[in-house]
Structure 1
Amino acid sequence: MSIEELIDDFLTPYSEEEQFYKNYHLARQSPETFQQFLSQIDASVSSRFYIPEINSNVHKLFEETHIFSSLKNNILIEKHQRYTPPFRHAHDFFEMIYVWRGTGENTVEDNLVQMRNGDICILSPAIFHTLGVFDDSILINILIKKSTFNETFFPLLSNDNLLSVFFTKVLYTKQADNYVIFHTEGDLIVRELLSYLIRESLLTIHDSYSDLLRENLLTTVFGYLLRGHARDAELSGKRHTQTAHMANVLQFLQDHYKTATLETTARHFGYTASYLSRQIKAATGSSFSKFLGELRFKKACMLLSGSMLPIQEISEMAGFGSTEHFYRTFKRMSGETPASYRMRHHQ
């Protein structure tokens, strides 16, 4: 049996939730039938499932801390439950919707995006949308932490390309696009990569290699999307050339956070220091020094949680200069000492 057949066998059967929502959907076709259906719903069911006519209080903003069960998990994958009543919601992480089979209706803000077989839609955080599947179609939701996206995926996106601009605008600027959509039907490589990603997440017992495999598979998917589908991709909003230039500047700072100064960065790109300062402020909402300080802080957090290096060495590696300055800055930005942070977050 092929990997696609294995996944189909796993995803095709209706779950209890899907079967309930399918019956709900069919009952709604007739007012009389629907009222009878609602009256027969047990309290144990209405407490577990979202039923607009009974319990309209549904989460509208989903946060990383509630969705991701472990700080180590950067990626979560799940099947979208068919026939679920669409509800408008947003989340503070990236969502990547893949049409494994069939079609789906994805309304992003006020824009209806008709998705078909093989389509991949990447949604920005904090964007309200609804997703509807009312047949046997199968859609896969791939959830990606925004908080760790930088360290995990940004090296792939360091050039002036569609995904680099899209993610950079989300992570560092106030000009984010709502979504980007790729049409990959017929691309056997992307299909196979996503098949392995789905299998690794839904059909394999989690072990010490699972997170690494998922991250590398998704990074490879991004690479093939850029190679084969960037030209035909659809990006909401307008792509600003200036933002593409800023993606290069921000990536430069990512690579040289230890030693970069406003003057050396401006000289590298042929700008004046005052011009670059204004552009960074306009794009990110932060001054150059504040933005660079945040990069160094994030690097320090990553080293504290992922290594047992001495704090003095981490201070130097993160570009803080003196250990005393590092302690003061870290306490101001996090509300705790580096040692305390390490105790709570060390993997």
Structure 2
Amino acid sequence: MSETVTLHYGEEEGDFHIEHVRRTEPFARTNHWHGTYEIYYQLSGQRAYFIKDRTFLISPGDLVFIGKHQVHKTSDVGLPGHERVVINFSDRFIGGDREHPLSHPAMLAAFQSPSRVFSLKLPDQIFVQNILQKMAKEIKERATGYEIYVKLLLLELLLFSGRYSERAETTAIEHQSPVHKKISEIVRHINANYQEPMTLTGLSEQFFMSPYYLSRAFKEVTGFTFVEYVNTTRIREAQRLLKESNKKIIEIAELTGFENIAHFGRTFKKLARMTPLEYRKGER
């Protein structure tokens, strides 16, 4: 069972999105990445959150920052059930793609923080929850000037988070266990070498793990199977090339590690829910 409240606002679809979800049953998000920034706030329950190349344990009061195009996925930890609020917003929404009187590097500082996750103290939790409640209320009621107020509330949250990231611990983040550290190394290797032939057996030999143990640990730590993550990384890069270059689709398939165009097409459609040609036409 789940309760979901989703609100949208912006000049273009996807400019701003806030979603409040309460779930009581097991839930794992599918492979996920997008061209907007994401702020995730945990209200109750615990989640394992894989972001870019490592997994974090998220607890109530934790505020999470995911940059544009970063692969991320959440999964259950312990008893199922959680409550969270997610905000997605574009550069355009906060004036980041043009000169803007309120544009400042501090607004996006939390997304560059090495920690990515801030465990807020109670007064800061109340402050953040108050902002989130005001945002949802403004978009729902749409009173005069609500568009401006929503942007101001988001900027207030971003400035608070940027300052918080400056005060946060700057030492290296410790991995939860040696297994987490090893899987993070493997993920970074995949991220850097996705265009090369890549098999579970080959990586298990390279990183001195049995194929069975690597497969199980990879899924447990990241929430992805090995094949899911490799394909996700390759398709994400293929989308970038389709959007930013005039390379032929068959060439993009080769550059992203696919041995034949048919496999590339099937995988792309499964993950992007459209063909490479449809994606290219839609993005231009």
Give TM-score, length-normalised by structure 1: 0.42
Q: Which has the higher contact order (CA 8 A, sep 6+)?
A: 2
- Is the strand fraction higher in 1 or 2? 2
Give TM-score, length-normalised by structure 2: 0.49
